[in-house]
Amino acid sequence: MSHANAALTPVQRARIGRMVIDEGWTVAEAARFFRVSWPTAAKWAHRYLEMGRGGMDDRSSRPHRSPSKTPQPLVRKIVHKRIKTRRGPVEIASLTGVPASTVYAVLKRCRLNRLSHVDVRTGEVIRRYEHDHPGSLIHVDVKKLGNVPDGGGWRYVGRQQGDRNRAATPGKAKSKYRDPLMRHAYVHTVIDDHSRVAYAEIHDDETAATAIGVLVRAVAWFAAAGVHVEAVLSDNGPAYKSHAWRDACRDLGVKHRRTRPYR
């Protein structure tokens, strides 16, 4: 597409070519008629002669050769230093022997100019994605957390006081063993892929019945906000592989997808 201040559009360029090549106009006459310079008219006439109508479109301004481009082995070295050591352009420049401006240009081209683009633990480039509208896909998962007794657990107040706090906490589960069990809390989370809006409930288990109840209430909660849930993504946990979960998704009109194992 021509830029906003272009004197000639592809159609006008083709007219110049036809007038000069097919109709016998001189380049000077065509230039005066279209109010452009002689070199401009000659350029389009010559290109029309060589390529026809297809040569009238804009070409890329990218050069055919880039002799001063940073060599690929050096680019890989800069990227390796950035990912593994999380150093800045100045420090990497001192290690690689190239200007800091070159290092920054390489990092920006590779989308590594900000440390927020790099995963803190793995050092790999963060790959983000999202569906194009709310409700297109929701993610479900369960987070298992240990319950803390009233007054604090043994990690905070010590073993003796922690055991007394556990024994004094109301509603604790009994066990055949000496110490009472505090058991765990299971946080069932539902997140919309597009908006990242989350719906969560805390339960005492992660059975299929509990997971289905959370899904039903989450779908209703999103519907009340004007969002129609189309698909749900889960891992391969027992609750999500059950027939009851499959039937619940079918009744809700929600397509169920599962992640690849161990991903």
pLDDT digits (tens, 9 = 90+) for 93-127: 999 999 999 999 999 988 888 877 676 666 666 66
What pLDDT shows up at residue 174? 46
Q: How many CA within 13 A on the CB side of residue 136?
A: 10
**214 lies in some domain:** yes
Could you give the CA distance from residue 13 to residue 57 in angstroms, rounded to a whole number? Answer: 9
Burial class (CB in 10 A: 0-12, 13-18, 19+), 35: exposed
Q: What is the reported pLDDT for 191?
A: 94
Q: Is residue 260 part of a domain?
A: yes
Q: Are residues 51 and 111 in the same domain?
A: no
Q: What confidence score (pLDDT) does residue 178 get?
A: 46
Do the beta carbons of residue 103 and residue 114 sit within 8 Å?
Answer: no
Does residue 224 contact residue 134 with C-beta atoms inside 8 Å? no
pTM: 0.49
Task: Return the closest-CA partner of residue 139 out of 208, 233, 238, 228.
Answer: 233
The pLDDT value recorded for residue 160 is: 75
Q: What's residue 8's pLDDT?
A: 82
- Looking at the fold, whether 192 and 238 belong to one and the same domain comes out as yes
Q: Indicate whether 77 belongs to any domain.
A: no
d(CA 257, CA 140): 11
> For position 2, what pLDDT does the model report?
57
Amino acid at 234: S
Inside any domain, residue 34: yes
- Assigned domain for 228 exists: yes
Which residues in the chain show pLDDT less than 50? 173-174, 176-180
In a domain, 75, yes or no: no
Nearest alpha-carbon partner for 225 in 248, 251, 245, 198: 198
Residues 232 and 107 in one domain: no
